[in-house]
Amino acid sequence: MKDIDSIMELLVDRLKAMEIPMWDVYSKTIDVHENQFRNYDLEITRYAVNTYYIIRTFYDKEDQFGVGVVKANSPDPNHIDSYIKTSQKLAKLNVTSKFNLPQPGQSYPNIKTAEDKVIADPEGVLQEKTEILQNVVQDLKQVQPTFGKLRIYISSKALRNSEDLSLTGSRTSLYLEYPLKAEAAGKLAEFWGRCDVKNSNQLDLQNRLSHWAGIATASLHTKVPPATKSITVIFPPNVLRDAFFNTLGSHSTGRLLSEGISKFKKGEKVAIDEFTLIDNGLMAGGIAVANWDGEGNPQRVNQIIKDGIFENFLFDQKYAALKKTKSTGNGLRTADGTISNSFTNLEINAGSESLDELIESVKYGVMIEEFSWLNPSAVTGDFGSEIRNGYLIENGKKKYSIKGGNLSGNAFEMIKAIEGASKQRVIEENYKFPYLKLSGLILSS
């Protein structure tokens, strides 16, 4: 496969030669450096690279507008011509509302999206983090690793369109998957730890692995929590991610607004006064940080909820056109090449208490570490999920580890029932969230 610059030039040349009036092309190369582990040992080191491009052409005749998308990786000009023709055929079938492509001349941020030392020496960084991981896990006497993966991703991307917009970018990130098992008195427990982080220092292997080991060890002595009609719950950032992404995040988009199913209206009170939610496309440490979105518009910071009041929806080109407004930099490119009107990185404001103080303030409740699943209804926000790992809290202290029981509630009601938030916030994947103390959830056995 040719490099990105060469393939982009070839794609643009073929589109112009075929006199396609409206188009954009997006190309991406992803390098993956991976170490795989078996028990305590490094088993194999792998390297893989994937380069692909996406052609979008548009059909715009009279009262019909359509988009055709083709994803491919062949550099053969004859193949490219056939892909363009296929895209044109699809554009006549995939009818949608009309919108324009971004124009050049916009002001773009200059956010650093790739870590210098990872770009310069990915194998060296991988080796460094591997040695730290192995040293840390050797000292965790109560648990044993089963297998694991540590990956570094390096990607380069480019976008061009028929309006003469031309953009490039790069990014780096890391992924860790590392299950730990604990065994005692014939009992076996395992915690399957995973994390996606933007920068290598966010791995924080000493604290992360120690935390995972603590959950695995505590799971050896779990009890099913008693049913409670209305219980106080402390949610960690990773669980809030599952609760809020498909609900608060999705209902903040122009897509759901245009479809008439968003729970939000501008100016309405939707949460407690102390709750603020931001879509931060420029967030340092966020996986989705970028200088431009999948369509070529500048990413930015968008205030969604401020002091409990809903303020702004998030738009891509299509839904901005429908609502006669402008894109907010929220047209994200999906793996298949289509554009998704979505949030970038979500950020919730910090509170005033430490996590220990949050726990101490709970007379009776639970603290969740992980659910077996948590997938709230994208329409209503309702959820019910089995507790996989957590703790029962009595009189401000963790009494014992819990597993089982079903916790139910509603994501939109949760932000009206916040009783406290931690000063500490966790930045992982595409969120920056504190721990939240919530009331009024239902725990059934």
Arithmetic mean of pLDDT, 91-113: 97
- Residue 186 banded pLDDT, cuts 50, 70, 90: confident
pLDDT reported for residue 436: 99
Mind spelling out the 3-state secondary structure of 254-318? HHHHHCCCCCCCCCCECCCCCCCEEEECCCCCCCCCCCECCCCCECCEEEEEECCEECCCECCHH
8 A C-beta contact, residue 227 and residue 355: no
> In this predicted model, what pLDDT tens digit does every residue of 311-330 receive, in sequence order?
999 999 999 999 999 999 99
Strands 364-371 and 382-394: antiparallel
| Residue 146, SS3 per DSSP | coil
> In this predicted model, what pLDDT tens digit does every residue of 13-50 receive, in sequence order?
999 999 999 999 999 999 999 999 999 999 999 999 99
Report domain 4-217's class.
alpha beta
- Residue 62 banded pLDDT, cuts 50, 70, 90: confident
pLDDT reported for residue 77: 96
Task: Spell out the domain ranges in the chain.
Answer: 4-217, 222-445
Of 27, 10, 12, 327, whose CA–CA distance to 170 is shortest? 27
- What's the CA gap between 34 and 150, in Å, rounded? 6
- Residue 113 banded pLDDT, cuts 50, 70, 90: very high
- What's the CA gap between 234 and 393, in Å, rounded? 10
Kindly report the pTM of this predicted structure.
0.95
8 A C-beta contact, residue 331 and residue 343: no
Residue 1, pLDDT > 60, answer no
Of 281, 280, 297, whose CA–CA distance to 100 is shortest? 297
Of 226, 257, 278, whose CA–CA distance to 445 is shortest? 226
If you count DSSP H runs as helices and E runs as strands, how many of each does the chain have, helices first? 10, 20
- What's the CA gap between 256 and 248, in Å, rounded? 11
Arithmetic mean of pLDDT, 343-350: 98
- Specify which residues 434 forms β-bridges with: 425
Averaged pLDDT score across all residues of the chain: 97
Of 299, 304, 253, whose CA–CA distance to 276 is shortest? 304
Arithmetic mean of pLDDT, 238-243: 97
The residues, ordered by sequence, that sit 6+ positions from 420 with a Cβ below 8 Å of its Cβ are 351, 353, 358, 361, 436, 437
DSSP conformational letter for 224: P
Residue with tokens 């990786």: 73
- What's the CA gap between 307 and 424, in Å, rounded? 19
Residue 333, pLDDT > 90, answer yes
Record the tokens describing residue 200, joined without a space: 């290598």
Residue 256 has a CB neighbour count (10 Å cut-off) of: 20
- What's the CA gap between 439 and 145, in Å, rounded? 36
- What's the CA gap between 137 and 265, in Å, rounded? 49
- Residue 2 banded pLDDT, cuts 50, 70, 90: low
Residue 185, pLDDT > 90, answer no
Arithmetic mean of pLDDT, 179-202: 95
